Structure 1
Amino acid sequence: MDTVRIGIIGAGLRSGIAKYWHSPGGKSVVVGAADVSMTRLKEFQEKINEHAYITTDYRELLERKDIDAVAILSPDYLHEEHAIAALQAGKHVYCEKPLAITVEGCDRIIEESKKSGKHLMVGFNMRYMSIYQTMKEIIDSGVIGDLKAVWVRHFVGFGGYFYYHDWHGTAKNTTSLLLQKGSHDLDVIHWITGKYTKKVSAFGGLDFYGGDKPNTLTCPTCDEKNTCTESSLEILTQCAFREEIDVEDNNMLIMELEGGIKASYLQCHFTPDYSRNYTFIGTKGRVENDDVNDKIYVKTRKSNTWNEFSDITYDMKKEQGSHGGADPKICSDFVELVLNNIQPLTTPYAGRMSVAVGCAATESIRSGGKVIEVSQGPTVKSV
């Protein structure tokens, strides 16, 4: 095989990454797409490939012999169904995070991948962002000594706009936003430390969104649309304060990782700003990022070595491509995985473990904060 022929399941917002796969004459082309909305499919053709086969039934897409691999960009609660069906159809699979919304679902997908002999890749694009790759290299160099603690704060500006106006706001569709949104951060903690979480205790709440508005209410039809802080005039945007919303809008996790490393993760969806702040603390110093100003700070402590006499500031350079230049890289890695069996920066087991931590933390939150052991699973560990 010289060129990977890719089909897309899910022609919504995330399908924009298909442009990095469609390279006629190159290593990959996008030849088809499936979505429940014909309108979105037509737009997909206009933006990506006007000759792409389109269908509202993903099973028809999987039946095609001219498709080697499938990218699953559908809503979270459909990942398990779509991934397993694609693997059973003999397709290689790229699946957006989270891999599934239950640990059991992740295990079923991974098992199906083994049975089919086809490649499975999870879309953890933060591993491909230079700022986090640089932080990992700094820590791996030993400049801050032995890693002992991790603090992560995720300020999710526009959280209501992204997550409470649609399917994301209900547990039946997401389990919790610790999977949909937090899976990135939980994975980066695992990846940079090189250790997986063993147990977790967490607290959280639905303290801003949700409420007593009818589930059928949409922003354009609401009497309060001109005064509501969460008003969105997009067509059929569901009310962010409707009754059915039941996933926490702020969460606080304490985790114990392998090797005794302690980590905390805080996530809030009603902050005025958007940023991720990571701090890694070792026996010789700490590393902290500032993703608003594209900087990384290394602070050293007394160590009786030359290291203690210098702090370091890294100025990150801008990169081309969506998600800070990560999307072109992750799309390229999927193609190299299929064509040349070159392993990407992510692993299916890592995808499973971020879901396992999110599910355990959600259980802890909804049971009053008790300590929950994280399911390690039967699969081979690889961070």
Structure 2
Amino acid sequence: MPSESPPLRLGIIGTWGRGYYLKDLFHQPGGRSIITAGADVSDFALEKFREYAGPDALATADYRELLSRDLDAVIVSSPDYCHEEHAVAALEAGHHIYLEKPMAITVEGCDRIRDTARRVDRKVMIGFNLRYSPVLHKAAQMLREGAVGKIRAVWMRHFVGYGSDFYFHDWHARRDRVTSLLLQKASHDLDIMHWLAGSYASEVAAFGDRDMFGGDKPDDLTCDACDERDDCPEAQPLEDHFGLPHPRRQCAFREEIDVEDNQVLILRLASGVKASYLQCHFTPDTERNYTVIGTTGRIEIRLEKNVIRLLERPNNQSGHGDFDDGDGLVSLDEGATEGGHGGADPAVADAFLDFVRHDAPPRASSLDGRMSVAAAIAATRSIREGGVQRVAPLPT
């Protein structure tokens, strides 16, 4: 690997939430990169940014001021509905970008980002950290090597046990902010579906509803001011771990909530693979469970458990399969899953730095980001308008 001195200078738009977590990956004084500029509309977020970035770092409420600085790349970790604006502006200013998923909340927004990147010759990497999960990378390698024969089906289930906490007490519960939680959450899963199957979705039919959250409570009602707080199973803590009023404290049963919390999708991929995806935001547990079925076997992946199971299809002469729970388990390298998201987060950060400095292609392209959004939006359209919907093709 060529010399990496001096470290890459990064700016970050959206220094709180996911952006605050990213500091542990990208701010490495004496290492590969440092964050020298941060932009956020929250005074508190900028205060916490200054604590780790130091007094010489730029901390500003105006992201345009950040973009005027001499930086090697910019991290865009602002809310979903800001991604298009911030990404395009950063590219126009001459910066490579690391863009958190979803790429944008419209297909047109994704296409605009990609067109801008091509025109100004800048790099875009989507924060699809699950592509860097050691478990999923191992499974993808096995599939490419023919472990299940020709892939014919992909089944995915996402149990979102923290759905209330993260998605129904703040802006995530509004269509004008996220389009659908199929973009916010399922953009990861749909991308992994495309990756494992080696093909993009071409059409989708879906059902979904608000089966748990939303209701008739006032939009300005917060958990700390609610008379029903003591008896409400969705009540948020009064304070966060900084001792401040909890940032996600809007009532989960307020009137303005208009995104679905329970969705079922069936998809046809361009290769002919049939796929399904289920997402529920009020399950008691949290798990991603992926199954890929081919002509000679199937692989099952339990992501949170760091488990891969490979079962080979017996022929008729050897009888039908009768497998025990421990059969077919695939071992992983010791220590491979250490770090956030089962080892994926440190790896995706390194991949971005390699992309910027050494032009090493990432595992997910901007096209992959665009196609996951396009599939999610087609599914959302099916839920709300009915019928089988075509996934938006690339513009000609």
TM range (shorter): over 0.9
8 Å CA contact 1:294, 1:315 repeated in 2:
no
Query: C-alpha distance in 2, partners of 1:97/1:228?
Result: 32
* 1:168, distance to aligned residue in structure 2 (A): 0.3
8 Å CA contact 1:155, 1:271 repeated in 2:
yes
- Does 2:244 correspond to 1:241? no
SS of the residue 1:190 aligns to: helix
Q: Which one of 350, 374, 377 corresponds to residue 391 of structure 2?
A: 374
* 1:51, distance to aligned residue in structure 2 (A): 3.6
Corresponding residue number in structure 2 for 1:20 = 25
* 1:137, distance to aligned residue in structure 2 (A): 1.3
- Closer/same/farther in 2, CA of residues 113 and 228 from structure 1, 3 Å limit: same
Corresponding residue number in structure 2 for 1:218 = 222
Corresponding residue number in structure 2 for 1:283 = 295
Report Cα offsets for 1:15-53 as digits up to 9, x if no partner. 211222222333321101000011111112224545421
1:156-175 matched pairs, under 5 angstroms: 156-175=160-179
1:257-268 matched pairs, under 5 angstroms: 257-268=269-280
* 1:153, distance to aligned residue in structure 2 (A): 0.4
| CA-based RMSD | 1.9
Query: C-alpha distance in 1, partners of 2:172/2:209?
Result: 16
Among the aligned pairs, what percent are the same residue?
Answer: 50
Query: C-alpha distance in 1, partners of 2:52/2:308?
Result: 36
1:1-383 matched pairs, under 5 angstroms: 2-15=6-19, 16-49=21-54, 51-65=56-70, 67-232=71-236, 233-234=238-239, 235=245, 237-303=249-315, 312-316=328-332, 317-318=334-335, 319-368=337-386, 370-378=387-395
Query: C-alpha distance in 2, partners of 1:168/1:305?
Result: 54
Query: C-alpha distance in 1, partners of 2:277/2:322?
Result: 31
- Note the residue ranges of structure 1 that are not aligned, 5 or more in a row: none
* 1:273, distance to aligned residue in structure 2 (A): 0.4
Report Cα offsets for 1:107-147 as digits up to 9, x if no partner. 00000001111111100000011111111111111121110
* 1:293, distance to aligned residue in structure 2 (A): 3.2
8 Å CA contact 1:200, 1:371 repeated in 2:
yes
Give TM-score scaled by structure 2 length. Answer: 0.91
With 192-201 and 227-236 compared, the bigger mean Cα shift is at 227-236
8 Å CA contact 1:2, 1:339 repeated in 2:
no
- Note the residue ranges of structure 2 that are not aligned, 5 or more in a row: 240-244
Query: C-alpha distance in 1, partners of 2:53/2:157?
Result: 36
* 1:103, distance to aligned residue in structure 2 (A): 0.1
Q: Output the amino acid matched with 1:295.
A: V
Query: C-alpha distance in 1, partners of 2:16/2:381?
Result: 30
Query: C-alpha distance in 2, partners of 1:244/1:205?
Result: 15
- Closer/same/farther in 2, CA of residues 305 and 127 from structure 1, 3 Å limit: farther
SS of the residue 2:202 aligns to: strand
Q: Output the amino acid matched with 1:327.
A: D
Q: Output the amino acid matched with 2:17.
A: L
SS of the residue 2:35 aligns to: strand
8 Å CA contact 1:208, 1:249 repeated in 2:
yes
Query: C-alpha distance in 2, partners of 1:162/1:20?
Result: 22
SS of the residue 2:279 aligns to: strand
